[in-house]
Chains A and B, each alone.
Chain A
Amino acid sequence: MEVVDTAAALSQLRRGALEYCVLALLRDDECYAYQIVQELGAVDGMVTSEGTIYPLLSRLRRDELVETTWRESAAGPPRRYYRCTPAGRRALRAFEPEWRRFRAAVDRFLDAGGAA
């Protein structure tokens, strides 16, 4: 497969990593959707289209990696709060070492290429 389209390749990588970033946000805390979107959007390069986070959250819910609770909100209508399930935490625990290994490997090649 020819990686000619950088944007497309990055978009794939982003999509793959995004759900783990969400799980990481929800590992120890409870957040509502808008909060999650804000936090992800605050980090440069993480999300290109904030709206796509909502389908992602739905999928994580369907896959039972996160669970939700509705809570009353002083600021307006009830809010849906998300948090990790044990399965979600397990998935995150499995992902972390793999990701660090992968990232180190890619960096290594990129650095070696630069030094040549």
Chain B
Amino acid sequence: MSGQQLVADYLSRLRSAAGSLPTGQRQELVGEIEAHIAEASGRRGYAESDVRNVLDRLGPPEEIVAAAGGGVTTAAPPPAYERRGTPLLEIAALILLLVGGLVVPVVGWLAGVALLWSSRIWTVRDKLLGTLVVPGGLGLVALGGLASLVMVSGGCVSSASLDSAGVSHSSSTCSPPSALHNGLLIALMVLMVIAPVTTVAYLGRRLTRPVAARL
């Protein structure tokens, strides 16, 4: 390859490597490198050995473009993306948050919260969401469910009284719960099941986003 061919080849590589740069920047860079080569070897008519030396000293076009990329030439290399193996801690946290409260009431869920907050993957916002929606997870829902079942079926009021003769009577008046009452309870129950499940699913998805390694 003649000297001039080498130059043309190099500049074309530079042009294509610089394709990601804004047009103005790219044209300026190529122009400057072209002028540099001309100044360094043009006077001796682009003799092949001269050109090879100059191009060697210039360095690979890709490296030059990398130095121009993002306009930050003194930047540290991009953060390494830490691809963890299976995030066991996070999976355990999710399981405990959701059903820990069912297995060991309160404590099971609290263990999930502890694991949640010790994770290095989730952000604070994620963690707050996991703690507050819904506290207790499905364990709370189960409790609530039991409580409302009692309310729904046992809408009875017992009273004991002493009549004038000192005989105690107990009577209970049961009023059937209204349909609206039931309906609201069921809606609430459904919501309280959906909410923690959705939250856990969301947190699970957040695990797959790339995480900058802590240096």
Q: Contact: A34 with B28, CB < 8 Å?
A: no
CA distance A49 to B71 in the complex (A): 17
Q: Which residues of B contact A19 (CB under 8 A)?
A: 73-74
Interface bits A44-66 vs B (CB < 8 Å: 1, else 0):
00001111101110110010000
CB closest chain-B residue, reference A77: B35
**Residues of chain A lying within 8 A (CB to CB) of residue B64:** 49, 51-52, 54-55
Beyond A51-B64, A56-B67, whether A41 also contacts B77 by CB under 8 A is no
A1 to B63 Cα, complex, angstroms: 24
CB nearest neighbor in B for A14: B74
The smallest beta-carbon distance between A71 and chain B, in angstroms, is 14
Which single residue of chain B is at the shortest CB-CB distance from A37? B36
Q: Chain B at the A interface: mostly helix, strand, loop or mixed?
A: helix
Cα distance A51–B25 when bound, in Å? 14
Indicate if B209 sits at the interface (CB-CB under 8 A).
no
Instruction: Give the residues from 32 to 48 in chain A that come closer than 8 angstroms, CB to CB, to chain B.
Output: 33-34, 37, 41, 48
CA distance A16 to B73 in the complex (A): 8
Q: Which residues of B lie under 8 Å from residue A52 when comparing CB positions?
A: 59, 63-64, 66-67, 73
Q: Do A54 and B74 touch (CB < 8 A)?
A: no
Q: List, in ascending order, chain B residues with CB within 8 A of A59's CB.
A: 68, 71-73
Cβ of A8 under 8 Å from chain B: yes
Q: Does B39 contact A (CB under 8 A)?
A: yes
On chain B, the residues within 8 Å of A12 by CB distance are: 76-77
* Cα distance, A92 to B57, chains bound together (Å): 27
Q: Across the two chains, which residue of chain B brings its CB closest to A48?
A: B59
Is the pair B71, A51 in contact by a Cβ cutoff of 8 Å? no
> Does any Cβ of B come within 8 Å of A27's Cβ?
no
The reply to whether A54 and B59 contact each other, CB–CB distance below 8 Å, is no
Q: Is B32 an interface residue (CB 8 A)?
A: yes
Contact between chains at B74 and A55 (CB < 8 Å):
no
The 10 lowest CB-CB distance pairs between A and B, nearest first, are A49-B59, A55-B68, A52-B67, A51-B64, A51-B58, A1-B215, A55-B67, A56-B73, A34-B39, A50-B57
- Give 10 new A-B contacts, CB below 8 A, not counting A49-B57, A54-B32: A34-B40, A49-B64, A50-B36, A51-B59, A51-B67, A54-B33, A54-B36, A55-B64, A58-B25, A76-B38
